[in-house]
Amino acid sequence: MTNRLVTANIGLTLDGRYNGPGGPTDAQAIVRYATTEVARDHLTRIWDGASTALLGRVNAEGFLTYWPTVAADENADPRDRAYAKWLVDTDKVVLSTTLTEAPWERTRIVNMPAADLVTTLKSTGTGEILVNSSPTVIKDLLAADLIDRLYLLICPEIAGNGQRLFDDGLPGSQWTLARHEVGELGEMALTYDRVR
């Protein structure tokens, strides 16, 4: 097995939710914080060492409609544009039971448990494997203790309802705070490394 790190990034509310009461597309409590200086710098850090983006189907389809336009937009924030270009150009693996063809170039579709896929990816190649804002994939990998670094953007709102990242039943684990920044709106960009 190689020494590839498995990293994951996601935005969460104070009550640990990645969406609000309106369901999977309700990101109101997170979106307004995603374009702050701290959040954009945080975004730059998450992909810096990554050579593979691992996505769930929902995020892959959503990203496809948004990020390529940012990559082509000369007026976009340079950090957003750099991330968008990386995402378009990097190798992407999409976990899906329903897709039959890849929605992007440099993308392959895989229908297998996330833990099995990550174990396979770790045994080949170089660079970090970034699980990119895909909560169901992150949950599966946390349950299998396969995430080495968590990039969290904590937004200072309580959603009150919606889906949580850290469900009951996860195995216990210890993490160390490797980096933290607080933004002008009270958002916190946190990097936690798994203690092994």
pLDDT tens for 135-174 read 999 999 999 999 999 999 999 999 999 999 999 999 999 9
Q: Percent of the chain at pLDDT above 90?
A: 87
Domain boundaries, the chain: 6-194
Q: How far is Cα 84 from Cα 133, in angstroms, rounded to an integer?
A: 14
Residue 187 has pLDDT above 90, yes or no: yes
CA-to-CA distance for 42 and 56, rounded, in angstroms? 21
Homologous superfamily of the 6-194 domain (CATH)? Dihydrofolate Reductase, subunit A (3.40.430.10)
pLDDT at position 64 is: 82
Give pTM, 2 decimals. 0.94
pLDDT of residue 2: 60
Q: What amino acid is encoded at 79 in this protein?
A: R
Does residue 3 carry a pLDDT above 80? no
Distance CA 118, CA 147 (A): 10
Query: Which alpha helices (H) appear in 74-113, and where do they start and end?
Result: 78-89
Other Cβ atoms closer than 10 A to 193 = 16
Q: Which tens digits make up the pLDDT trace of 101-136? A: 887 889 999 999 999 999 999 998 899 999 999 999
Question: Residue 101 burial (CB < 10 Å; 0-12/13-18/19+)?
Answer: exposed
